[in-house]
A and B are shown apart, each in its own frame.
Chain A
């Protein structure tokens, strides 16, 4: 498979954007999942609804809202620009869009894992002298590791496939914001672009397959480590 430089660039950009989107949002996803699973406060349903919003909104709406808020003239975007961070029409913006679209999936997977941990185990750890931070590190975190892994894989997969919000927020600039789906879309817009599109489609299938295989292997590893084999 002879990849053209811009096709190669689209592949590498997709992997970079998705990796950043997934790793940067994972700690926040764990925190939010924890709050939703264990928190007991008024307005919890509102937080939950807000987190799940990107799942049900048309991606183009999410992308447009991102443009409004994080664009150069947006509330946060304008402020970020003063300290030298520009998101609109940059790869970092693509990562932000991918992270937001994948966030509900990550939170969901991790929240389910936290809800499955018996709080009585944490109580037992407490009687053995462990304070909340130690209880989380030594009991909860290892027990929810498979859930975190599942959430991370979902978040990564969602980021690889993200198209609507990304193209709305950061457009389709080769080498800067043109991810695999955007590149396929671009090929399909020009006459005779089908062969290029087909190569990228095959590439996407390879990436997806690779991600699934790696996650399968990792989850076996984790399952063995925490004794759930």
Chain B
């Protein structure tokens, strides 16, 4: 799958100029409120006609201003999960999720209604009305409804934004399971780095209507240059690891290309892949191999690049095996240690700094 988006659109003095190409899996569009994220997904869905540009999926043009092509939303086969759910109030849950089935065309979907209802935990809710559902249940119904219309692309515009913090963590695993089962490419809009870090395969970062970064999530999130856009407190690399074993003291041993990590226990069986988000502020660097330290996570690394921002901090990208990590130091520490690309040092990670939600089941490879 290839989705090509190249559009420009302005609202008064605010101009959106978005240009990116993405593929299978989950593409997240990240940016602060007002960066133009919803405009872009609405243009992909066909609910908004950009002033200029071109949108195509696998070579099939959905919008091209120069050729006056504008395929109607009902003909695009693009599922849309809205921030506010938008369930039909006069239909039951079953009526809602079956709504799009009668219009679905193309090859039969690989997932059936029963499977989707099962995965999303909707089996017991089928006869309920949307008005009686909780926020999280509503979003799960909206997700099932969009998927059952047999889309070739699924758009999700801040689907968790209207939910409580605790509910968000409940829904993310559902989305992860669907991503793995349905194989439908997903474009996921969010202003939450936590969601992006868990879900993104490809990451598009928007700022003031412009694309400032677009690459695999792993490279963008470990790129010190992108740190200002991500936010210094939220910045952190993601590494793909495998669960080695659950230790007796409640910690879980993970192995990734750069070595082993001992982190808080997670409910993923040994042998299965996990994705770990390691915040830049939780990694400190040491020139010599530290001894007598309270941390068990000490990794030999090589400095790849150093990015000095406007503030007192410095972002350092270090390589551990085939993975990259990001560390944030004070500029003073960096200059005292004479941190420079190519030098070897040790990265230290405090296990308790990594919350359980930062460790999630990854797509099986």
- Given A120-B82, A227-B131, A139 and B77 contact (CB-CB distance below 8 Å): no
CA distance A109 to B149 in the complex (A): 34
How many of chain B's residues touch chain A, expressed as a range?
Answer: 20 to 34
Candidates A121, A126, A142, A226; contact of B74 at CB < 8 Å: A126
Distance in Å from the Cβ of A220 to the closest Cβ of chain B? Answer: 15
Candidates B73, B88, B92; contact of A121 at CB < 8 Å: B88
CA distance A125 to B99 in the complex (A): 8
Q: Are A129 and B82 in contact (CB under 8 A)?
A: no
- The interface residues of chain A lying within 8 Å CB-to-CB of B73 are 123, 126-127
- The interface residues of chain A lying within 8 Å CB-to-CB of B99 are 125, 128, 130, 138
Q: Are A128 and B146 in contact (CB under 8 A)?
A: yes
Give B68-109 interface residues, CB cut-off 8 Å to A. Answer: 72-80, 82, 84, 86, 88-92, 99-100, 103-105
Distance in Å from the Cβ of B212 to the closest Cβ of chain A? Answer: 28
Q: Per-position contact with A for B123-140: 1 when CB-CB < 8 Å, else 0?
A: 000000111000000000
Q: Are A139 and B74 in contact (CB under 8 A)?
A: no
- The interface residues of chain B lying within 8 Å CB-to-CB of A128 are 74, 79, 99-100, 103, 145-146, 149
Distance in Å from the Cβ of B65 to the closest Cβ of chain A? Answer: 21
- Given A120-B84, A138-B99, A226-B90, A131 and B74 contact (CB-CB distance below 8 Å): yes
- Given A120-B84, A226-B90, A129 and B129 contact (CB-CB distance below 8 Å): no
Q: Are A129 and B77 in contact (CB under 8 A)?
A: yes
CA distance A99 to B6 in the complex (A): 54
Candidates A124, A129, A143, A226; contact of B86 at CB < 8 Å: A124
Interface assignment of A134: CB less than 8 Å from any CB of chain B: yes
Distance in Å from the Cβ of A229 to the closest Cβ of chain B? Answer: 9
How many of chain A's residues touch chain B, expressed as a range?
Answer: 20 to 34
CA distance A158 to B76 in the complex (A): 47
Distance in Å from the Cβ of B118 to the closest Cβ of chain A? Answer: 21
Q: Per-position contact with B for A133-160: 1 when CB-CB < 8 Å, else 0?
A: 0100011001100000000000000000
Candidates A121, A129, A143, A225; contact of B103 at CB < 8 Å: A129
Q: Which residue of B lies closest to A127 (CB)?
A: B80
Q: Are A130 and B89 in contact (CB under 8 A)?
A: no
CA distance A22 to B75 in the complex (A): 38
- The interface residues of chain A lying within 8 Å CB-to-CB of B45 are 127
Q: Per-position contact with A for B290-329: 1 when CB-CB < 8 Å, else 0?
A: 0000000000000000000000000000000000000000
Give A87-129 interface residues, CB cut-off 8 Å to B. Answer: 118, 120-121, 123-129
Interface assignment of B357: CB less than 8 Å from any CB of chain A: no
Interface assignment of B47: CB less than 8 Å from any CB of chain A: yes
Q: Which residue of B lies closest to A222 (CB)?
A: B90
B residues with a Cβ closer than 8 A to A are 45-47, 72-80, 82, 84, 86, 88-92, 99-100, 103-105, 129-131, 145-146, 149
24 residue pairs bridging A and B, Cβ less than 8 Å apart: A120-B84, A120-B86, A121-B86, A121-B88, A121-B89, A124-B80, A124-B88, A127-B45, A127-B73, A127-B78, A127-B146, A128-B79, A128-B103, A128-B146, A129-B77, A129-B100, A130-B74, A130-B100, A130-B103, A131-B72, A143-B90, A227-B90, A227-B129, A227-B131
